[in-house]
Chains A and B, each alone.
Chain A
Amino acid sequence: MISWWLLPLFAGLGVAATAGPLGSLVVWRRLAFFGDTLAHGALLGITLGILFDLHLTLALIFSCSVLALILLQLDKYTGIASDTLLGILSHSSLAIGLVVLSFFDNVRIDLMAYLFGDLLAVNQNDLLWIFAGGSLVIGLLIWQWRGLLASTVSEELAAIDGYPVKRLKAMLVLLLALVVAISMKIVGVLLISALLIIPAAAARPLAKSPEQMAMLASLIGMISVCAGMAFSFIWDTPTGPTIVVSAASLFVMSQIFNSVRR
């Protein structure tokens, strides 16, 4: 018989492993706010999914992807500074999601679970989604790693070198959308980008190459998941936030290690 905590643990580890390399790219390319916006917009996706009675994970993936592509276009064609634009979209889509949701009195939805995650409610189906999605993300990242890295260093140089810079960027934001969608259940709308960014930032002082940083970020994320789950059992705290607190503690430790070493 499978212990009740094994499913959530594997789900958390799967998400953390995927978030490592993707989060590193997010940190290098300053896409943190972008990820936040996707996550906040995801709530709108859930609302629409419920409204039209769609498969919730599919609705999430779909709405996140559409939002990602819209953001990519807006970034190119509007004169508004992209952080302002993202800030507007991020919070207004979250607000719209909450408002629309409130119209449906007959819909019973655990809002807290979507905002802060409900790791312990993970079922086998979710686990399957996480591992299928995670493998796809990691596979594509490994396949296109050199091009992604080259365009992170300089989009111009990469374009002249013949890397498909635009397609790579589109791929990256779609993968980000996918990860946001599948990790929603684990840490919730408000904390997803924490899981992407904090482990990567914690890995930075310890890494000598981009690949090392990506793998260390996965490792640190996975340690945070284990520690977060353990502490949430011991102290009876909400699991998602406890995982983020663990990651943040590891970040502080890595910064201290870094300043001591210098």
Chain B
Amino acid sequence: MNPELVVVKAKAETLVRAQGINQTWGDRHVLQNIDLAICENEIVTIIGPNGCGKSSLLRILLGLHTADSGKITRRKGLRVGYMPQKLRIDDRLPLSVTGFLMLAPGARKERVQEWLERLSITALAKQPVQRLSGGEWQRVLLARALLIEPHLLVLDEPVQGVDIQGQRELYQLLPELRNELGCGIVLVSHDLHLVMAQTDRVICLNGHVCCSGHPDQVSISDEYNSLFGNQSGHQQGHQNGHQLAPLAPISELAPELAHYTHHHDHKHCADGHIEGSEECTHAHENVSKSEGHKHD
């Protein structure tokens, strides 16, 4: 780990902070008392099973929805780049990739060109957006998010429908972008192993924050494994995430990681925090703990 980065992290500014967020849909209490903060220069992965409230939390953080209760504080003048999980554009709208990218506020032709080159999709510039493959479209959406020069980049399940090579490339790009732009990055994923090596902090969500901290610690925590662990896995032991092939499917990885399995229990989780606090200074601690790991 680059020591300079640690210094930067220590004085990182909070970009967005959520305090005591509660959300109910009908009789389902989707989000319960969520506290979290995202800082500059950090990559945070929000992970959780389907229906755990990931999308609701994201919509609330993005300001698209106002939570039933709780407070969202955004840094003044915060620019957010958002890459949606999916976006379908109607066939009746004739729109080229360049035309689509030019819709970002303040987008200029040269900048569009630069990002197209950077993401190796220059060849798509004149293509109608409806004709792109899943992977191509994801890159275009990423380019769109980056064009507004975001302070905070939010990626919702960014690799759906993308092949393995594309996934690897996309995830390798994230730390580069973070270092270049100094932005905070929030990733939503349902698979920690894919994003492990690139993540500074993991927030494991299942209605409430079950656990959070460095991916190495989260991946061996009981809370994480009760949500994602393999039913047959009873092996104990610490398996360092970075030694795992980062792209191996979870079915292969889970037995090694699973501590033991139990039904997920809310009472249990209240004491189950590894890195209990969401304060930004903890990003610094996390980094120092993981010194010696190779992050690339």
Contact = CB atoms under 8 A, between A and B. Distances in A.
Please say whether chains A and B are actual partners in one complex.
Answer: yes
Interface of A: 27-28, 146, 149-150, 152-154, 156-163, 201, 204, 207-210, 212-213
Contact of A152 (B64, B93, B96, B148): B93
A163 B93 CA distance: 19
Interface in B119-155: 144, 148
27 contacts: A146-B102, A150-B103, A150-B105, A153-B87, A153-B89, A153-B95, A153-B100, A153-B103, A154-B84, A154-B87, A156-B82, A156-B84, A157-B87, A157-B144, A158-B103, A159-B64, A160-B64, A160-B80, A161-B105, A162-B105, A204-B92, A204-B94, A207-B94, A209-B96, A210-B93, A210-B99, A213-B94
B254 interface: no
A213 B93 CA distance: 9
Contacts of A153: 87, 89, 93, 95, 100, 103
Given A153-B103, A156-B64, 7 more contacts: A153-B93, A158-B103, A160-B63, A160-B64, A160-B82, A209-B94, A212-B94
Nearest to B104: A161
Interface in B73-122: 80, 82, 84, 87, 89-90, 92-96, 99-100, 102-105
A160 B103 contact: no
A250 to B, nearest CB: 17
Contacts of B94: 204, 207-210, 212-213
B154 to A, nearest CB: 8
Interface string B45-80: 000000000000000001110000000000000001
Contacts of B82: 156-157, 160
A225 B63 CA distance: 46
B109 to A, nearest CB: 14
A110 B84 CA distance: 53
A160 B62 CA distance: 7
Contacts of A28: 90, 92-93
A150 B99 CA distance: 10
Contacts of B100: 153
Given A156-B84, A210-B99, A27 B92 contact: yes
Given A28-B90, A204-B94, A213-B94, A161 B84 contact: no
B105 A210 contact: no
A157 to B, nearest CB: 6
A157 B84 contact: yes
A101 to B, nearest CB: 37
Nearest to B144: A157
Contacts of A157: 82, 84, 87, 144
A150 B100 CA distance: 8
B44 to A, nearest CB: 18
B189 to A, nearest CB: 20
List the 10 closest A-B pairs by CB distance, nearest first. Answer: A150-B103, A160-B82, A207-B94, A28-B93, A161-B105, A154-B87, A209-B99, A27-B92, A213-B94, A160-B80
Contacts of B102: 146
Given A160-B82, A161-B105, A163-B105, A209 B95 contact: yes
B95 A210 contact: yes
Contacts of A156: 64, 82, 84
Contacts of B80: 160
A212 B104 CA distance: 20
A9 B92 CA distance: 30
A210 B129 CA distance: 12
Nearest to B129: A153
A167 B99 CA distance: 23
Contacts of B84: 154, 156-157
A88 to B, nearest CB: 25
Nearest to A201: B92
Contacts of A159: 63-64
Contacts of A146: 102-103, 105
A209 B125 CA distance: 13
A201 to B, nearest CB: 8
A204 B94 CA distance: 7
Most chain A beta carbons < 10 A, residue from B62, B96, B105: B105
Contacts of A160: 62-64, 80, 82
Contacts of B90: 28
A149 B62 CA distance: 21
Nearest to B128: A208
Nearest to A145: B103
B76 to A, nearest CB: 14
Interface string B177-213: 0000000000000000000000000000000000000
A158 B148 CA distance: 12
B4 to A, nearest CB: 32
A146 B102 CA distance: 9
Contacts of A161: 104-105, 148
A29 B104 CA distance: 19
A146 to B, nearest CB: 6
A231 B100 CA distance: 41
B129 to A, nearest CB: 9
